[in-house]
Structure 1
Amino acid sequence: MAEFSFDSLPLRPADFAPTLCSTVVVAPHPDDESLGCGGLLALLRQAGVPVNAVLVSDGTMSHPHSVKFPAAARQALREAELREALALLGVSTDDLLLLDLPDSAVPTPDQPGFAEAVATLRAYLQRVQPATLLVPWRRDPHPDHRATSQLVAAALAGLSIRRVEYVVWAWERAAPEDLPQSGEATGWRLDISSVLSQKQAAIAAHRSQLAPGVIDDDPSGFLLSQQMLAHFAQPFEVYFDE
């Protein structure tokens, strides 16, 4: 099998985006929605397509040792950043679903809380009735992203909703076995050059995750590297269809 390359995937034009029709984006953490599919979300809203969002984790573990920002304050900060980012992409947060699962410990099928989260997400999808659901690539190299993929798969069982997977950590951390295997999925890139500035503004709204950050009393806290951010400054995004 030839070596896999995101850059070699076929490029679809911006006007492909509205064909996904009404969409729900599922983000494991605040910022995944902007990094992985902010351009697509902006294009959908530009075309007047309804978009709703689901946040899976509480986002508190990026700076777990902060005293100035205890867990509740970190959660509130990151939720506010998410709402700002979505607004910049044109997405309303009036019907934002917050699952409030523990950051860095989103449950998998054999763990407590998984069934309840599946039921909550499934009820939301049945009410909103999207045509398409956006979720991280099933083997994106972060345990919360993989758990989110499993949660979504369980919630979608029996529902006629198209599942489209986006890439976040697979840009940098994917082992060969994490990448799509032959016949497993159809990959494509989406031209987002016309809305790249919108996507960049949405990423910038997540100030707690970008240097110098706003949580300044946890030296071990997480910040997105410039190398990582460079992947999301490209004029295209990567997606996979089952």
Structure 2
Amino acid sequence: MPERPSALLDLPLRPASYAATLGPTAILVPHPDDESLGCGGLLALLRQAGQPVSVALVTDGSMSHPNSVRFPPAARQQLREQELQKALRELDVADDRLLTLNLPDGAAPQHPGQPGFDGAVATLRLWLQEQQPQTLLLPWRRDPHPDHRATYALAQAALATLARPPRLLEYVVWAWQRAAAADLPQPDEVQGWRLDISPVLAQKQRAIEAHRSQLTILIDDDPSGFQLSPDMLAHFAQPFETYFETTSA
């Protein structure tokens, strides 16, 4: 088992039944597979409790294998979206609950004025107004991947003008593996807790396995293509997930 940051691990454990108290929930996903890795257990528990779940996919996911000829960009985008849809079905989230923004993978805009930022913010704002989630799941604000930080920035901009913003829970993906000390929660910045997902752990693993292009040599003509390592996957085979939320207004 790879070493894990204590700031992500030494946190109170809440029971699986706590998921039901979050109410209707929406999640922002930087790339296909982040939903299953970071929140798959929570999404499954929400659906078991009868809570609706809506998903917004931020990037097109096409840069995982940028040198593939057999899977050119449009084909990679289609494949990864299909894998996401399969993963959501494993988690009992309906296909028609998915919004795709199709921002460029690896270059999602983080600041107002950057190409695509304002349009994505407007789309997310309208989506949030339509979905009316009680809880919004989004990547940890300093998760060490630029698209994850961009997703957080887009969410904050979209939420800024909402009369009744939802409760925000930040989930962890790359901070497990790549976080520097400054990337981790600072004293009194957020409240962290873990959620027991042991009743749905097998379901989460099936959702992760749906992302075959990220786990196998399905795209076999790009030797430099991305693949989730066993060390990385081990963080998401644990019977809990880690969440953070702000402690002050």
- The interval holding the TM-score normalised by the smaller chain is over 0.9
Aligned partner of 1:90 in structure 2 is 92
Which structure 2 residues correspond to residues 211-226 of structure 1 after superposition, within 5 A?
211=216, 213-226=217-230
Alpha-carbon contact 2:7-2:184 (below 8 Å) kept: no
| Distance (whole Å) between structure 2 residues aligned to residue 119 and residue 109 of structure 1 | 14
| Distance (whole Å) between structure 1 residues aligned to residue 88 and residue 174 of structure 2 | 20
Kindly, what percent of the aligned residue pairs are identical?
Answer: 67
1:96-128: CA deviations, max 9, x gaps? Answer: 110000000000114111011000000011011
Which residue of 31, 36, 39 corresponds with 2:38? 36
Aligned length: 239
| Distance (whole Å) between structure 1 residues aligned to residue 148 and residue 80 of structure 2 | 17
Query: Secondary structure of the equivalent of 1:9?
Result: coil
Which residue of 67, 70, 73 corresponds with 2:69? 67
Aligned partner of 1:6 in structure 2 is 8
Alpha-carbon contact 2:53-2:97 (below 8 Å) kept: no
Q: Taking structure 2 as the reference length, what is the TM-score of the superposition?
A: 0.94
Query: Secondary structure of the equivalent of 2:68?
Result: coil
1:151-182: CA deviations, max 9, x gaps? Answer: 00111113321111000000010000000001
| Distance (whole Å) between structure 2 residues aligned to residue 4 and residue 119 of structure 1 | 37
Aligned partner of 1:234 in structure 2 is 238
- Tell me which stretches of 4 or more aligned residues in structure 1 moved more than 3 Å: none
Aligned partner of 1:174 in structure 2 is 179
| Distance (whole Å) between structure 1 residues aligned to residue 187 and residue 177 of structure 2 | 21
Alpha-carbon contact 1:86-1:92 (below 8 Å) kept: yes
Alpha-carbon contact 1:39-1:198 (below 8 Å) kept: yes
1:12-36: CA deviations, max 9, x gaps? Answer: 0000001110001110000000000
Q: Please say if 1:203 is aligned against 2:208.
A: yes
1:163-212: CA deviations, max 9, x gaps? Answer: 1100000001000000000111000000000000000000000000003x
Query: Secondary structure of the equivalent of 1:68?
Result: coil
Aligned partner of 1:144 in structure 2 is 147
